[in-house]
Amino acid sequence: MPLLVKTGNSHHLLSSTAMAMCSSFCPQLPSHFRARPFPLPSRQPFPLSFKAFSAQASIAPLKGNGSPTRVGFLGMGIMGSPMAQNLIKAGCDVTVWNRTKSKCDPLISLGAQYKASPEEVAGACDVTFAMLADPESAVEVACGKHGAVSGLGPGKGYVDVSTVDGETSKLINGHVKATGASFLEAPVSGSKKPAEDGQLIFLTAGDKSLYETVALYLDIMGKSRFYLGDVGNGAAMKLVVNMIMGSMMATFSEGLLLSEKVGLDPNVLVEVVSQGAISAPMYSLKGPSMIKSAYPTAFPLKHQQKDLRLALGLAESVSQPTPIAAAANELYKVAKSHGLSDSDFSAVMEALKAKLQS
């Protein structure tokens, strides 16, 4: 069986022969060449997270005839493009599609194949990933005319890595399962840079066998993966995480502006925050450019507002009060109404500036 070895940003597919030679020299592969269970507290309801590789390996899924599994990728946006790119660079047989075809061109140059519809991609591939903007586009691409579902069937898998709500995920799951195919929701934590670096965190739920089949690909694109049980749990986990993140960014923006107004240097605030209990990579990463009112897009503000909206819906469905997130959501709505939808979500700070308050 071939092994896929990940070392930093490089991936190497070792053939069966190479493996045989390797094991004759090293009868036991070093432990860092194997996926390791991540130690979890025993009370964890789903003890199924795996710490991913940095220089690890796992078995590449093979088709019965010995050819590597064909992987489809739908949605070449900020996230989908680097994720697909990492699969191609790792030697996977990748077929891509995007609504705006030109965004596929760099992937085609790297060796990807192209198909003209999600249906054709799913028809040609064993496993198809989808990274789409929101619930509407995720449903359209999966279940619409010439959608992926029309190309699915028994033995195939569909993995939706978009951030959507649980209801949407369950709807897509229903359509996929009706074809005899398997479904996994697998939204990701981590933004543009982690996507480029293969350092995403996958929050998966759905068909366990598909989770196991695609683990190799998740490990190429990510640094860890969590299996959370039934469809809806991955979406819920992702929305809770992004609800916290959206509120954190909103209050950080308030802090930056307040510090400046009372005569402090906001750069010093960023440094102080970075050394204390509320330190977060996000503050150190985004703070310096926010101070310069620069918001280069990694995570579009419109998607953060969508996630807050969906998280508030989730909270309402279980009567959980979320007043902080609700207030943050209003701020992102203000920012959107001022044309900042496609800026980075850190541009929410603009909504707090006097010129946007009038």
Q: Report residue 142 as tokens.
A: 């999966």
- Please state, in angstroms and rounded to a whole number, the distance separating the CA atoms of residues 258 and 263: 9
Question: Phi, psi at residue 133, to the nearest 5°?
Answer: -65, -45
- Please state, in angstroms and rounded to a whole number, the distance separating the CA atoms of residues 255 and 109: 45
Q: Is 189 a binder of ligand O=CCCC(=O)O (CB under 6 A)?
A: yes
Residue 284 · residue 256 · CB < 8 Å: no
Nearer to ligand NDP, 58 or 346 (CB): 346
DSSP per-residue letters across 43-59: T-S---EEE--SSEEEE
Nearer to ligand NDP, 169 or 213 (CB): 169
- Please state, in angstroms and rounded to a whole number, the distance separating the CA atoms of residues 27 and 37: 22
Among 19, 51, 59, 99, binds ligand NDP (CB under 6 A): 99
Percent helix, percent strand, percent coil in the chain, to nearest 5: 50, 15, 35
Q: Is 242 a binder of ligand O=CCCC(=O)O (CB under 6 A)?
A: yes
Nearer to ligand O=CCCC(=O)O, 6 or 238 (CB): 238
Residue type, 253: S
- Please state, in angstroms and rounded to a whole number, the distance separating the CA atoms of residues 152 and 253: 45
Q: Which of residues 156-175 bind ligand NDP (CB under 6 A)?
A: 162-163
Nearer to ligand NDP, 58 or 150 (CB): 150
Q: Look up tokens 């400046």; give the residue.
A: 260
Stretch in the footprint of ligand NDP (CB under 6 A) among 1-9, 95-103, 220-228, 256-264: 95-103
Pairing state between β 70-74 and 93-97: parallel
Q: Is 133 a binder of ligand NDP (CB under 6 A)?
A: yes
Pairing state between β 200-206 and 222-227: parallel
Q: Which does 177 bind (CB under 5 to 8 A by kind): ligand O=CCCC(=O)O, ligand NDP, none?
A: none
> Which residue's Cβ has the minimum distance to ligand NDP?
77
Residue 308 · residue 246 · CB < 8 Å: yes
Total of chain residues touching ligand NDP, rule CB under 6 A: 26
Catalytic residue among 6, 238, 286, 306: 238
Q: Which does 133 bind (CB under 5 to 8 A by kind): ligand NDP, ligand O=CCCC(=O)O, none?
A: ligand NDP
Nearer to ligand O=CCCC(=O)O, 72 or 190 (CB): 190
Residue 1 · residue 14 · CB < 8 Å: no
238 is catalytic: yes
Alpha-carbon distances of 125 from 11, 152, 287, 350, rounded to whole Å: 21, 9, 42, 44
Q: Is 103 a binder of ligand NDP (CB under 6 A)?
A: yes
Alpha-carbon distances of 357 from 250, 279, 335, rounded to whole Å: 15, 29, 10
Q: Which does 78 bind (CB under 5 to 8 A by kind): ligand NDP, ligand O=CCCC(=O)O, none?
A: ligand NDP
Stretch in the footprint of ligand NDP (CB under 6 A) among 73-81, 165-173, 225-233, 268-276: 73-81
Q: Which of residues 297-356 bind ligand O=CCCC(=O)O (CB under 6 A)?
A: 299
Nearer to ligand O=CCCC(=O)O, 70 or 238 (CB): 238
Among 191, 204, 213, 224, binds ligand O=CCCC(=O)O (CB under 6 A): 191
Stretch in the footprint of ligand NDP (CB under 6 A) among 11-19, 56-64, 71-79, 165-173: 71-79
- Please state, in angstroms and rounded to a whole number, the distance separating the CA atoms of residues 102 and 226: 33
CA dihedral (86, 88, 93, 97) positive or negative: positive
Give contact residues for ligand NDP (rule: CB under 6 A): 75-80, 98-100, 103, 131-134, 137, 140-141, 162-163, 188, 191-192, 298-300, 303
Give the residue numbers marked as catalytic.
Answer: 238
